Amino acid sequence: MLSAFAEPGVPEREFVLPELGGGFAGRTAIGFHLVDCVVHAWDVAATLGVPLGLTDEVLVAALAVARRVPTDPAGRGPGFAFAPALKVPEGTGPLEETLRLLGREPHAWPATGR
């Protein structure tokens, strides 16, 4: 994936992502894949009960993308790419906010830490 996204012209090239409803500019698709990697890395860490060791730079970048995901309940839940967004308490860190915006409850898996 890293090699494919590093090719010249990728940020401008269109990527078709049917699970998200169509084609997107490469730079947008890269952001989607970043969030996907971060969230699924957390899923694996949570399942194994181990900490997730991602840098603040990665977590802040993923959060910036997660904040742009539409939260309309009509497009969230079973059969959609994301679960309904959860409330984000004041002072929540970037990983937890990302998870909550995408419908995951991080406190259900307390062993993951960061």
Q: pLDDT tens-digit profile of 82-101?
A: 899 999 999 999 999 999 99
Tokens matching residue 51: 């900490």
pLDDT at 103 > cutoff 70: yes
Q: Which of 31, 52, 56 is nearest to 109 (CA)?
A: 52
Map out the domains of the chain as residue ranges.
31-112
- Report the candidate in 21, 47, 25 with the shortest Cα–Cα distance to residue 112: 47
pLDDT for the residue 95: 96
The whole-number pLDDT of residue 114 equals 45
Residue 42 near residue 104, CB atoms below 8 Å:
yes
**Residue 33 phi, psi (nearest 5):** -70, -35
pLDDT tens readout for residues 6-47? 888 888 888 888 777 778 888 888 888 899 999 999 999 998
What is the pTM for the complete model shown?
0.81
